[in-house]
Structure 1
Amino acid sequence: MTEPAADTGWAIIDSMRRGEWGHRLEDLYGVSRSGIIRTAELRQWGVSNSAIDARCRPGGPWQRILPGVVMLGNGHPTARQRAVAAIVLSGQNAVLTGRAALHEYGYGTSYSGDAHVLIATHRRVQSTGFVLVERTTRLPVPVTRNGLPCAPLPRALLDAARRCRTLDSTRSLIAEVIQRGEVSVAELIAELDSGSGRGAALPRTVLREVSADIHSVSEAEARRLWLRSGLPRMVFNRKIVDADRQFIAMPDGWIDDVAFAWDIDSLDWHLAPKAYKSTVERRTRMQNHGIIVLPTLPSAVRDDPDRVIADLRSHYQLASSRPRPEVRMLRAPG
């Protein structure tokens, strides 16, 4: 909570305690957190119950955002204000987790504004409104993000992933965080193994895919098509080098016996349209070294799988019909 400046702070506090808060609304906001404050604190600063009730009536300048929690404004609460309100409601040692915590870490997940909070098992706070309160024997040591106590990134991510309803949404969520390199697959697997089995099936499937170098929703769907195609073994996201061990590319899929590369366009994974230029340059390098390349749009993988399987088979036959170029696949790390 923001404190008043040292030289004037006590005078402000004393005046508000004498019931003069109506002349110092900006100071009242200053002792709140992003405009969020408990009704008990308002009473401490001299605001009577009747004044709180009057200001929180429909059309009034304030609103009761949660039981015992007031927002000093009448607009729609921001994601930040909802997160603060959840922590204020949940009290001492509460920890923000899930998508609300990911939002504080700076991830652009599809955050609805609902807040998931962890508390110790002996606490009696209940879920209400947009706040999901979860009691846990594994209350993490919080990481302070923007002044809020947040679960460490692996815990926050998996708490969000456990509540995903589809495999694709779970993949997208986990891929977004792993891509930045701020958490490893090993850390996520360790966190998943140490927690409850509830909701763990989808994240565990995705982590197995990522361990096998499947990096996106489209690539995971593509792997299923390759399995249906009946073609020889395909590996994913392996580095390809020339005869002098100079790097050529790292295609999404690779059949080594005929030097056949499969490239899945996926701007969601590469994160920026400028990646298209590097994609074109990568394919040109592969073709210059004699590699047969099949480019495929994610929409085709999703909407026209039979045609994609036919393309895979025809390009494999084309690759089989010419001498294999002098290129090598490097082993996966570890």
Structure 2
Amino acid sequence: MRPADPTDEQRLRAGLLRGGERSMITGLWALRRHGLRQLPEPDDVHLLVPHEREVTSSGFALVERTTRLPTALTRDGLPVAPVHRAVLDGARRIRDFDAVQAMLAEAVQRKRCTPEQLDRELSRGSQRGSALPRRALQALLGGAESVAEADAWEIWKLSGLPAAEWNVSVFDREGGYISKPDAWCEDVAFAWEIDSRSYHEDGDHFAATLARNARYSAAGIICLQTLPMRLRTEPGKVITELRDTYATACARPRPPVTCRP
């Protein structure tokens, strides 16, 4: 009788047994344990172990000896690395930029770590495999909170327009809340919204989008709406629209609105 293949849980526990005392799971399996979803399918069980322990990789256990062993967190009964360490340990072994960007963006968007934590970890850790996560991190440090916003950040940078602020709240002259645009150009009160058709055409979301646009109009704010897919399929046209809309905003008196982080 052929024995059954081990379950994922059995593989994780077997890996920890090989790692020994103070070892912990990192990378994609750790991120799954933290509840993140925008991940490639995990394979090897990536382990962090104290540097002085003479244990090597074997089979499905990928052992990484480190002098920078973080404090483990317990998730569903198993010790795992904190998100800012686990996401970079995983990202360094991935060669798909979109996958790396999605992982980092989800970790930040769901407030499991901050861009600053990722930046510190990236500078202190191994530089092997760091090029893609370093590139993906730039948009997050600039204020982007999602993959679509990271794409928009790259487009804005190529447009040559003055620097924008990302995800700041905008208020009218009486202090009433207007919106939190994806990108905001303070000098001319110009808002850029990356609006997913599937999200904004859905029931309550559609009504909320109409109400938001009405608040922009009433406050004298010029807003450009762009579908996320166009950031990659029509970047040149989007850049032209940004420049033209910015010029329109420059041509009218700036309305009395303010922004706050």
Bin for the TM-score computed over the shorter chain: 0.7 to 0.9
Q: Distance in 1 between matches of 2:197 and 2:24?
A: 34
Matches within 5 A, 1:81-100: 81-100=10-29
Say whether the 8 Å CA contact 2:199–2:205 is kept in structure 1: no
- For 1:255, the equivalent position in structure 2 comes to 185
- For 2:161, the equivalent position in structure 1 comes to 231
- For 2:94, the equivalent position in structure 1 comes to 164
> What secondary structure sits across from 2:48 in the alignment?
strand
- For 2:215, the equivalent position in structure 1 comes to 285
1:167 Cα deviation after fit: 3.4
* Unaligned segments of structure 2, at least 5 residues: none
1:276 Cα deviation after fit: 5.7
Over aligned residue pairs, what C-alpha RMSD do you find? Answer: 2.9
Q: Distance in 2 between matches of 1:132 and 1:110?
A: 18
Percent of aligned pairs with the same residue? 41
Letter in 2 for 1:165: R
Decide whether aligned partners of structure 1 residues 190 and 230 sit closer, same or farther in structure 2, where only a CA change above 3 A counts: closer
| TM-score with structure 1 setting the length | 0.68
Decide whether aligned partners of structure 1 residues 230 and 177 sit closer, same or farther in structure 2, where only a CA change above 3 A counts: closer
1:210 Cα deviation after fit: 1.7
Q: Distance in 2 between matches of 1:269 and 1:181?
A: 21
1:148 Cα deviation after fit: 1.0
- For 1:144, the equivalent position in structure 2 comes to 74
Q: Distance in 1 between matches of 2:82 and 2:142?
A: 25
Runs of 4+ in 1 over 6 A off after TM superposition: 267-270
Indicate yes or no: 2:85 matched with 1:176: no
1:320 Cα deviation after fit: 3.1
Letter in 1 for 2:172: D
Say whether the 8 Å CA contact 1:209–1:220 is kept in structure 2: yes
| Structure with higher RCO (Cα < 8 A, 6+ apart) | 2
Decide whether aligned partners of structure 1 residues 233 and 276 sit closer, same or farther in structure 2, where only a CA change above 3 A counts: same
Say whether the 8 Å CA contact 1:103–1:109 is kept in structure 2: no
- For 2:39, the equivalent position in structure 1 comes to 110
| TM-score with structure 2 setting the length | 0.85
Matches within 5 A, 1:1-334: 55=1, 60=2, 62-63=3-4, 71=6, 77=7, 79-114=8-43, 115-265=45-195, 278-330=208-260, 332=261
Q: 297-306 or 124-133, which moves further after superposition?
A: 124-133
Letter in 2 for 1:92: E
Question: What is the count of residue pairs matched by the alignment?
Answer: 259
